[in-house]
Each structure stands twice: as C-alpha cells, then as structure tokens.
Amino acid sequence: MAIRKVITINQDIEFLRKVSKPVTSFGSSLNTLLDDMWDTLEKYNGAGLSAVQIGVLKRVFIINIKENIEFINPEILEISQLEKKEMEGCLSVPKEYHKINRPTWVKVRAQDRNGKTFERIFKGYQARAICHENDHLDGKLYIDLLTKEDEKK
C-alpha cells in the first residue's frame, strides 16, 4: 500500500480530461490500486477519489462517506429529477469550492474488487460524491458544471 500523487488541473488537465477504460482483470493489481487509493484518500482527507486522479485510466473510484465503498465499472442507472445545489471541492482542483447542482439520489450498478456486481440507491452526499467521481471517469471536472453566473461569485 502506498500514497500516490494526485494530479491537479495545474499539472496535467489534459490527462484528467481522458476517458477511463473498463476494468477487465480482477486480481492483485486491482487490489493494489484500490488499497493505494484508500491510502491516498486518507492522506489528502478527501471524500472520494477516482483512479484517473492518480494517473490510472481505469473505471474505478472510491468514496468514504458514511462507509467505504469501491466502485469498479460503475453505471448510473437512474437519477432523481430533484436536484440540490451544494458546495463541492476536488483534490484535482485544489483550494476551489463551488456550489454545484446534483441529483438528490442515484441508482448505481457497479462491481466490487472481486468482480461481484451490486446495485444500490445512494442519497444525499453519497449521491453527490458518486456523480462527481463518475464524471472523472468520463473526463469531466466539477468546474465544468459551473454556470457563467456561478463563475462571477
């Protein structure tokens, strides 16, 4: 287990804009990646972390809100029509915080580190973090969701 360097927009925004590839192999290298991600998240005191943020273009992210959850090859199946605007930050966008609209709940299908598929509904801050981290896997940053009005504040 090791702490990995988090890529920031100041260092390599082009890499952060890349789309991550599905995980096809479940085993020791995936376990090492996930363990390193947990160590890195703890070091930086974050709520979530995607593999792309530490230089790995795999569809993997973790969140640490109420519980530790690992998401491999996640798919957002449903989202609430109701949204809530709350503050967000990002380890890859240091020292910036903005109010962002996100759905109040999401239904997700993903795999765990052993390849077992799960499906769950997440609400509140967990849903927000899942949307945030899932966006990373598609090369999107939360600051992309800012409106012109938000940027002036």
Catalytic residue ranges = 133
8 A C-beta contact, residue 151 and residue 145 = no
Q: Mind giving me the DSSP string for 81-118?
A: S-EEEEEEEETTEEEEEEEEEEESEEEEEEE-TTS-EE
Strand partners, 62: 49, 70
* C-alpha–C-alpha distance, residues 78 and 108, integer Å: 7
